[in-house]
Chains A and B, each alone.
Chain A
Amino acid sequence: MANAEIRSFIQQIQSWFSQAKATNSDKELSYPPSEVILSLEGAIEEQPIPSTYQTKIREVATAKIGEWRSNLSAANSLVIIGSPVEPIARIVEESLLNEKFEEVRVIALLSEAKRPTQPSEIAPQLQNAIREVLEEENESGHPKSDRSSDARQDRQIAIVIPCLAQYFLRCIQGWEGIDFLQNKVVQNPSYFWILGCNSWAWAFLDCVGQISAYLEQVHLLPALDRDNIQSWLAPVADNVLSELSENEDSDIPKDRESSVYWDGLESLSSGMSSVAAQLWLQSLRTSSADSIQDILAQDNLTPVASEQWRTEIAAHLQQSQPILPSLPDLTTMDRYLLHSLLIHGKMTRSHLALSLGEIEQHVRPRTQILLRSGVIRQQGECLAIHPAHYPRLKLELNNNNFLVGDD
C-alpha cells in the first residue's frame, strides 16, 4: 500500500510536469472529429489483449495447476486480479480458454459476464451454473473428492469464471453467490478454479466475507512497460501516425521525442492497457479538422487499416504529450456513486441505485452529470468508469477515506 501511494504521488508530480509540457505551442492543433476517435477505439478493442498479460497468466496458471496436480494439499484456486477499468473477463478468457494445461481440460463458466437484472437472481445464476457443471462432471465419472487411489490423476478439470465482480451486488443478500462459490471451491479439491476479479471488488469481498481465506492464491496482472504498450498499440498507431508532433525549433531528435512520449504514457497509465489506450486517443490532434470533416461528409469512414484511411485521415493526425484529464468537481454523492461503479466494474442504473440505497430517480441526475463530464460512460445498458479518469479517481477516493483496490 505504501508503494502504491508513493507511485501515485510520483505520477501526480509527473502529470503536473506533463501538463506543463502539453501546453500546445501550435495553437492551430485541435481535437480530431469524434467519428475518427470512435473508429480508432473500435480498432483497439478488436485487437487481441496485450501479449504480456497472456504470457504471464498462462505461466502462472501452468505453474499453479502443476503444483495442484502433484501435491494433494496444494491450493486448488487461482484468482487473477486487475484494475476495474481493464476488461478482466476478456483477458482471462483469451489467456486460458484455448490453452492446454498438461492433461487438464478447461471449462468456462458464465462467459457472458452479465449481472442478472433482478438482484434476487444473481446468487442463483452463479449457484446453478456451478451445480450444473459439478453434477455433469460427477455423472460422467469425475470424483467429487480426492478419495480415489490415485487422486492426482483424477485432477483433470479447471473451471474458469472470467469475471467474479458481475456475480455480486452490494446489498443485503447480494453476495450469497460468492459465499456459495467459496464453499464449493473448498469442498471440491479435485477441481482447479480460476477466477477473474477486479481489485476493488476483491478488496470489498475480502472485507465482507474474507474471500482470501478460501481463495488464497492471487495474482495481479503485470504492469505493462512502455515497450509493451507501444507494441500493443502499434497495429493501430502505426496505421494512423505518420509523424509525431514537432516543434520546428526543437533540437530534440524524433527518437527522443518518441521515447519521452511512451515513457509518459507508461507512467500516467501505471501500466494499464485500457488507460494507456484512452490516453493515447486523447493525445491525438489534427491541424486540419475541417479537411477531415469534409472527407467524412463525402464518404463513409473506411476501416482504420485501409490504405484510404492512411492517406486521407492518418496523414492529418499527430500525437501530442499525453496528460491525465482533470476530474470535475465531485459532490459527496458522486464519490459514493463512482466508488460503487468501481467495485462492481459496470452496472445498470437500477443496480447502482440499489447498491447506494437510493431510489433510481435520485441517482439519475448525478449519473447524467457524470456522463456529460466524461468521468463515466455508457456501455449498452451499463455504466462504467472511463479508463482515462481512473488514476486520478483512485487518488481522489483514497484521499476521501474510501476502500480502494490494490492494483
Chain B
Amino acid sequence: MFLFVLFAPDTNPSEFLGIVSLLAQENQGINAAKDLLTDITTQKLFKAIISILITYALLRGIQSLTDWISERVPRRFRLLIKQSLPFWKGLILVITLGYLLSLFLNLSQSNLFALTGTISVALGFAFKDYVSSIIAGVVTLFEAPYRVGDRVTIDGEYGEVTGYGLRGIRLQTPDDNTVTIPHNKVWTDTISNANSGQLEAQVSTHFYFDREIDIGLVMQILYQAAYSSRYTQLKLPVVVRISEKPWGIHFKLKSYPMDARDEFAYITDLTRRARQSFQSRDLPSLQMPSYLDVDRGE
C-alpha cells in the first residue's frame, strides 16, 4: 500500500501523512498486545491444564464435602452449610482465574488498566438489566405502583409484598412461596394492586345457583353472612352482584376484611356461614353439566 501511495502520480501529501499515522497506530497496537501477553511456552500450558484439573477436582470435592457435612450436623445448621457452598466455589474459581491470568498475562499497571477497561465494557452489557432494575426501583418509590404490605399481581404471581430490595421485590404467595420479581417489570408488565397502601382489600366470594333459586333470599343471606363475619370491616360497604349465566346464576359477594391478610380465612368464613344457612333452608346447590366450562371470574 505504501508503494502504491509512493508511486501514485496524484498522491496528496496530507492523505499520505494520515495513512502513515494509521499504520503507526496499528503497529503500536500489535506491540501493546505483545506486551500484555507473556511468552506461551509448553511448560505454562502444562501448568494451566494441571490447575484446571485441580480446580475441577476441588469443586467436586467441596460439593461432596458440604453435602456430607450438612446431613450430619443439627438441622438448624444444615441450610447454613449448604448456603456457604456458592462462596467456596466462587473462591476456588477466583483463585484459579487469578493464577491463569498471572501465568499468561503481564499484569503491569498499564496492562491492568487496559484489561479493566475491556472488562468494564463487557460487564456493562452483562449488568444492563441489573441497572435497569435499580433505576426502576427508584422510580417505583415515587410512582408507588406497589408498596410493602400491598397485595399485588405481577407477571401472573399474586401475593403480599414482604420485601423491597435494590433489584426487586419479594412476594409471599398464598401457598407460602417467596417469589422475587425484579423492579424492571414495571417498565413493561401490568401491575394489579388490591389495596394500594390500605389495610383493607376487597374480597369477592362466589356462589352459584340454579335459575329457579329465590334471588332475594340468597341476597339477604349473603348480606347477613358478610355482616356477621368477625373479619368484616363494617365501616366499608358490602355489595352483592348477580349475573346470569347459561348454566345458572352467579352471585358475587363483595366485601372488605379489616386486614387484607385475612383474605382467605375471610372467604372461608363467608362461604361456611352462607352454606350453613343455605342448607338449613334446603336451598339446592347448582348441578353443573360436565360439558360446560364455568366462568368463575369476571
Checking A203, A339, A355 against B228 with a beta-carbon cut-off of 8 angstroms, the contacting residue is A355
Q: Could you tell me if B234 and A403 are in contact, using CB atoms closer than 8 angstroms?
A: yes
Contact residues, A142-175 vs B (CB, 8 A): 170-174
Asked whether A357 is an interface residue with its Cβ less than 8 Å from the other chain, the reply is yes
List 22 contacting pairs A-B, 8 Å CB cutoff, sorted by A.
Answer: A170-B227, A170-B230, A172-B224, A172-B228, A172-B274, A173-B224, A207-B227, A207-B234, A207-B235, A208-B227, A208-B234, A336-B230, A339-B230, A340-B230, A355-B228, A357-B230, A357-B269, A357-B273, A400-B258, A401-B258, A402-B258, A403-B233
Q: Could you tell me if A401 and B277 are in contact, using CB atoms closer than 8 angstroms?
A: no
Minimal beta-carbon separation of B236 from chain A (angstroms): 10
Chain A residues lying within 8 Å of B227, measured Cβ to Cβ, are: 170, 207-208
Asked whether B23 is an interface residue with its Cβ less than 8 Å from the other chain, the reply is no
A174–B220 Cα gap in the complex (Å)?
A: 13
Minimal beta-carbon separation of B86 from chain A (angstroms): 39
Checking A204, A336, A401 against B233 with a beta-carbon cut-off of 8 angstroms, the contacting residue is A401
Minimal beta-carbon separation of A298 from chain B (angstroms): 51
Contact residues, B215-249 vs A (CB, 8 A): 221, 224-225, 227-231, 233-235
Asked whether A236 is an interface residue with its Cβ less than 8 Å from the other chain, the reply is no
Chain B residues lying within 8 Å of A170, measured Cβ to Cβ, are: 227-228, 230
Residue in B closest to A402 when the chains form the complex, CB atoms = B258
A384–B287 Cα gap in the complex (Å)?
A: 46
What 1/0 flags go to A342-365 for Cβ under 8 Å of B? 000000000000011100000000
Chain B: interface residue total (CB-CB under 8 A): 21
A355–B276 Cα gap in the complex (Å)?
A: 14
Q: Could you tell me if A403 and B235 are in contact, using CB atoms closer than 8 angstroms?
A: yes
Q: Could you tell me if B234 and A356 are in contact, using CB atoms closer than 8 angstroms?
A: no
A90–B233 Cα gap in the complex (Å)?
A: 32
Q: Could you tell me if A357 and B259 are in contact, using CB atoms closer than 8 angstroms?
A: no
Contact residues, B261-278 vs A (CB, 8 A): 269, 272-274, 276-277
Q: Could you tell me if B273 and A172 are in contact, using CB atoms closer than 8 angstroms?
A: yes
Asked whether B199 is an interface residue with its Cβ less than 8 Å from the other chain, the reply is yes
Q: What 5 new A-B contacts, CB under 8 Å, besides A357-B273, A403-B234?
A: A172-B273, A207-B235, A357-B272, A401-B258, A403-B233
Checking B199, B228, B258, B259 against A171 with a beta-carbon cut-off of 8 angstroms, the contacting residue is B228
Minimal beta-carbon separation of A388 from chain B (angstroms): 25
Residue in B closest to A333 when the chains form the complex, CB atoms = B230
Minimal beta-carbon separation of B162 from chain A (angstroms): 18
A340–B229 Cα gap in the complex (Å)?
A: 11
Checking A174, A203, A356, A400 against B230 with a beta-carbon cut-off of 8 angstroms, the contacting residue is A356
Q: Could you tell me if A172 and B234 are in contact, using CB atoms closer than 8 angstroms?
A: no
Of B230, B235, B274, the most chain A CB neighbours within 10 A belong to: B230
Contact residues, A13-56 vs B (CB, 8 A): none
